[in-house]
Amino acid sequence: MSFTVYSFLLLFLPVSLALYFLTPARLRVVPLLLCSWVFYGLWNPWFLALLIAVTASAYTFGRLISSATSPSARRGLLTVGVVLNLAALAYFKYAQFGLETLNGLFNLFQLAPLNASLQGLLPVGLSFYVFNAVAYLVDVSRKEVTASSDPLRFAASFAFFASLLNGPLLRQAQIAPQLLAPQVSLQGFGTGAMRFMVGFCKKLLIADTLSPLVQGCFASSEPSSAANVWLGGLAYTVQLYYDFSGYSDMAIGVAAMLGIRLPENFNHPYTALSITEFWTRWHLSLSSFLKRYVYFSLGGNRAGDTRTYLNLLATMLIGGLWHGANWTFVLWGAWNGGFLMLERFLKDRFKRPAPPAWYALPKMMAVVILGRFFFISSDAGQALEKFAAAFGLRGWELTHNAALAVTFERLTALGVGLALCYIAPQWHKLEFRIATLSRSLLLPVFWLALAVVAARSASPFLYFRF
């Protein structure tokens, strides 16, 4: 089930809210858990079985690690628990990728390939809840969080339907205490409903409107061109932001209605003036996870400049691979890691002042857009072809399919989406009357988005495939 279908809006969400608020406060964890399992099980009952297995594994190993009497026992139990969780992720997400890579090596050395297929259905949200499980076990091992002794509350916090599929990535310390005493209020409910409507409009009116433009610019049936890939890259960059941040807004809004506060996942990333700053604003929960559990575990910046640069690169390579089982995502991680290394090197070596915004902002956006070529390509060759086209090696003018995809509606969505990226950070500075007017316009815009769902079914969230 998705946030943008009528069955969620008109049935699941109202019923879930009613069950939650009609249940005595001390027992609300029960309907919350049942609703979360139903929400996930409607995708595929086998997905639910896997979620319950990962939940049980994390809970059990958390208890075992907590009760271990020696550091070596804790480390051993942590290793087993993490390996089991990552094994589930590896099997469902990376097994076919590993097999294809191995066969590629066999072919290189003229050896017979393995005649097998491990292609399976990827459970939606698997990368998110496996990482949540790993984070929990590491935190228990480090004694930064107490192992849960309440399996119902642990399962409810682990499977919380608002954030289960697309994040934000949550540590148990962020959500489990809130289930003991949710801060339910009429004001919080209203704020959450407004936040949900904002996310819904971002997804339906901007992200989904741009989807045909992106597909037309990157149509595989004809050669590309500079105009194709730059227009398509810009449109995809805007689409991805409004799609993913729209989901985060809806998740935060639903949680707020239930009296639960989720962390912010975006902080106006396209206003960043460097790739380093971009990664302090984009997908904050993943950035925090990678920094806390990968970068710091590798040594961070504590072992000299060279080790720091390598740690940055390794962290981004893992972040790239987390997004998908394809070498394009590894290259995307290397692209971002390379720029993080370069910016760190220039800062450490030359200590030069930050460039002016008029230069730094377009440069940052160009790096982000070029990096998206890896994200949207099915293989490395396709990505490199887009790079060649971007620098004029495949012609300059829009091709036929791309020109057909350019409409007034889609260009308006692109322009409005870009404008809001730079107006939104100033929203709190607007005069009270203007801010009030914008809130009063939200409801009719939300009704428009609902009408759009009826006219054209909402596209799946882009991050569901990660």
**pLDDT digits 0-9 by tens, 436-459:** 556 678 888 888 888 887 777 667
Mean pLDDT, residues 270-292 = 93
pLDDT the model gives residue 433:
47
Q: Counting Cβ atoms within 10 Å, is residue 123 exposed (0-12), middle (13-18) or buried (19+)?
A: buried
Radius of gyration, CA atoms only, the chain: 23
Residue 175 falls inside a structural domain? yes
Clarify whether residues 164 and 220 are in a common domain: no
Last residue of a domain, one of 182, 209, 235: 182
pLDDT, tens digit (0-9, with 9 covering 90-100), for 70-125? 889 999 999 999 999 999 888 888 777 777 677 677 677 766 666 666 566 778 88
Helices (H), 258-394: 275-278, 284-289, 305-323, 327-350, 357-376, 380-390
Clarify whether residues 138 and 233 are in a common domain: no
Residue 308 falls inside a structural domain? no
Which has more pLDDT, 172 or 247? 247
Mean pLDDT, residues 165-183 = 84
Enclosing domain of residue 117: 6-182
Last residue of a domain, one of 132, 152, 182: 182
Residue 301 falls inside a structural domain? no
Residue 338 falls inside a structural domain? no
Residue 10 falls inside a structural domain? yes
Q: What percent of the chain lies above the pLDDT cut of 90?
A: 50
Residue 238 has pLDDT above 90, yes or no: yes
pLDDT the model gives residue 436:
59
pLDDT the model gives residue 463:
73
Residue 312 has pLDDT above 70, yes or no: yes
Residue 431 has pLDDT above 60, yes or no: no
Tokens of 382: 């396709």
Three-point CA angle 1, 166, 299, nearest 5°: 160
Residue 424 has pLDDT above 60, yes or no: yes
Residue 345 has pLDDT above 60, yes or no: yes
Per-residue DSSP letter, 270? G
Tokens of 389: 């086209």
Residue 52 falls inside a structural domain? yes
Work out the pLDDT band at 5, boundaries 50, 70, 90. Answer: confident
pLDDT the model gives residue 429:
60
pLDDT the model gives residue 437:
54
Which has more pLDDT, 415 or 465? 415
Number of Cβ within 10 Å of residue 110's Cβ equals: 6
Mean pLDDT, residues 372-381 = 90
Residue 432 has pLDDT above 60, yes or no: no
Clarify whether residues 171 and 242 are in a common domain: no
Last residue of a domain, one of 182, 209, 241: 182
Residue 316 falls inside a structural domain? no
Q: Which amino acid is at 177?
A: P
Q: Which amino acid is at 315?
A: T
Mean pLDDT, residues 45-60 = 93
Clarify whether residues 192 and 251 are in a common domain: yes
Mean pLDDT, residues 284-311 = 88
pLDDT the model gives residue 315:
94
**Alpha-carbon gap, residue 325 to 323, rounded angstroms:** 7
Clarify whether residues 30 and 138 are in a common domain: yes
pLDDT the model gives residue 199:
93
Clarify whether residues 45 and 92 are in a common domain: yes
Domain count, the chain: 2
Distance (Å) of CA 240 to CA 125, 132, 210, 214, 463 = 17, 23, 10, 11, 9
Calculate the average pLDDT of the chain. Answer: 87
Q: Which residues are tagged catalytic?
A: 323
Residue 265 falls inside a structural domain? yes
Distance (Å) of CA 455 to CA 112, 215, 277, 448, 452 = 51, 20, 39, 10, 5
Q: Which amino acid is at 6?
A: Y
Clarify whether residues 198 and 176 are in a common domain: no
Mean pLDDT, residues 40-66 = 92
Three-point CA angle 74, 77, 80, nearest 5°: 150
The separation between the first and the last C-alpha atoms of the chain, rounded to the nearest angstrom, is: 17
Clarify whether residues 175 and 217 are in a common domain: no
Clarify whether residues 105 and 208 are in a common domain: no
Clarify whether residues 109 and 200 are in a common domain: no
Clarify whether residues 80 and 125 are in a common domain: yes
pLDDT the model gives residue 113:
66
Clarify whether residues 136 and 258 are in a common domain: no
Residue 390 has pLDDT above 70, yes or no: yes
Q: Is 393 helix (H, G, I), strand (E, B) or coil?
A: strand
Mean pLDDT, residues 240-245 = 94
pLDDT the model gives residue 221:
64
Q: Are 132 and 165 in contact (CB under 8 A)?
A: no
pLDDT the model gives residue 208:
93
Phi then psi dihedrals of residue 422, to 5 deg: -105, -20
Mean pLDDT, residues 174-201 = 88
